[in-house]
Amino acid sequence: MCTRILLLLAGLLGGASSGAATLIAADTYLVAGETTPNRQPDGNSIIIVAPNGLIVFDTGRHKEHAQQILDFARTQDSPVAAIINSHWHLDHVGGNPQLRAAFPGIHVYASAAFDAARSGFLADYRAQLQAEIPREASNPKAQESMRVEMALIDQGAALGPTDIVAKSAQMTIAGRLLQVHLETRAVTAGDVWVFDPKTRVLLAGDLVTLPAPFFESACPARWRASLSTLEKARFDWLIPGHGTPMHRQEFAAYRRAFTNLTDCAAGASTKNACIDGWIRDASALIDSRDVSYARTLIDYYLENYLRHPSERISKFCDA
């Protein structure tokens, strides 16, 4: 998630914070993402302890988040052998430079969508930040946050892949056999998700997010189809890009809520009816502290993406 929605919501985020790595399944640990008031979020990171080192799925945004991954590697006395990035949003690739500096020669697997995002979406975001800094003269903390974001974007190629995931395939990474899948024009132009047949854990990236889906760079119809593909995997646990891990029945509820939301957006129902529908359909998945945030998100996306400026959706769907 990035650009305008982050500028709008940075001060509205709840206080859920990350801690030490949590065991999810055998050899599989979660470093939970963090949402703190007046600060951009980190996505979830998943660490798989593989025969030839650690595999990290998404690296968060902030240095503190990446440091948790490095601390885990130290306690395991094992190098980070590979990074797999689900997509190019900064809250999922921001830790790449820090991990690459600590472990030179590390392989970074991601789709080819990063280059286009770097010259397009991320460049536009940087320009927005540059323009916003003078307007926040009375808020030095906000200015500093924006400068940190700009510096992260300026890391350039260090954020991107060394190994392109061009199609879905079985891959042996750091000695671990994984099913690596590619979805095109869903949340972004290229979204990577991973199924580990050994543990039956599915790493979804932002194909699944709570307390709401993030449509900032998405094609809703393709995203909806991708959720159908995920449901066919024989997983026991699914770890979303944001939010807590979920079982199959919880993912089924998420998928129904997503379908109903996009149907509502395409129909004649009022905006409030669509917002209420999401909250109702996803109620078992949304922490009560995040309901207001979820309403703000859905309101924003209905107003700016799913309905009136439909050319934005067409841009991402037809890219």
> At residue 20, what is the residue type?
A
Backbone angles phi, psi at 102, to 5 degrees: -75, -30
Extents of the domains making up the chain:
4-246
pLDDT band for position 8 (cuts 50, 70, 90):
very low
Q: Is-above-0.75 flag for pTM?
A: yes
How high does pLDDT run on average in the chain?
Answer: 92
- Residue 35's pLDDT is 67
CATH topology of domain 4-246: Metallo-beta-lactamase; Chain A (3.60.15)
**Max Cα–Cα distance, the chain, nearest Å:** 57
Cα–Cα distances (Å) from 30 to 48, 193, 258, 294, in that order, read 9, 15, 25, 23
Angle between helices 220-232 and 248-266 (to 10 degrees): 160
> At residue 44, what is the residue type?
N
pLDDT at residue 46 above 90? Answer: yes
- Residue 14's pLDDT is 41
pLDDT per residue over 201-239, tens digit each?
999 999 999 999 999 999 999 999 999 999 999 999 999
Q: Which two tokens stand for residue 36?
A: 């703190």
- Residue 149's pLDDT is 95
Closest CA to 217 of 117, 297, 111, 287: 117
pLDDT at residue 15 above 50? Answer: no
- Residue 5's pLDDT is 46
pLDDT at residue 68 above 50? Answer: yes
| Average of per-residue pLDDT across 303-309 | 86
- Residue 62's pLDDT is 93
| Average of per-residue pLDDT across 288-293 | 92
Look at 309 and 160; give whichever has higher pLDDT.
Answer: 160
56 contacts 47 by C-beta, under 8 angstroms: yes
pLDDT at residue 25 above 60? Answer: yes
| Average of per-residue pLDDT across 85-99 | 97
pLDDT at residue 124 above 70? Answer: yes
pLDDT at residue 72 above 70? Answer: yes
The gap from C-alpha 208 to its chain's centroid, in whole angstroms, comes to: 8
- Residue 19's pLDDT is 59
111 contacts 181 by C-beta, under 8 angstroms: no
Q: How many CB atoms lie within 10 A of CB 301?
A: 23
Cβ-proximal residues to 284 (8 Å cutoff; 6+ apart), any chain: 250, 253
- DSSP per position, the chain: --THHHHHHTTT-------S-EEEETTEEEE-----TTS-----EEEEEETTEEEEE---SSHHHHHHHHHHHHHHT--EEEEE-S---HHHHTTHHHHHHHSTT-EEEE-THHHHHHHTHHHHHHHHHHHHGGGGTT-HHHHHHHHHHHHHHTTGGGGS-SEE--S-EEEEETTEEEEEEEEESSSSSEEEEEEETTTTEEEEEEEEESSS---TT--HHHHHHHHHHHHHS--SEEEEEES--B-HHHHHHHHHHHHHHHHHHHSS--HHHHHHHHHHHTTTTS-GGGHHHHHHHHHHHIIIIISS-HHHHHHHHH-
CA 1/CA 92 separation, integer angstroms: 9
CA 147/CA 153 separation, integer angstroms: 10
Backbone angles phi, psi at 208, to 5 degrees: -135, 120
pLDDT at residue 12 above 90? Answer: no
pLDDT per residue over 236-282, tens digit each?
999 999 999 999 999 999 999 999 999 999 999 999 999 999 999 99
pLDDT band for position 39 (cuts 50, 70, 90):
confident
pLDDT band for position 75 (cuts 50, 70, 90):
very high
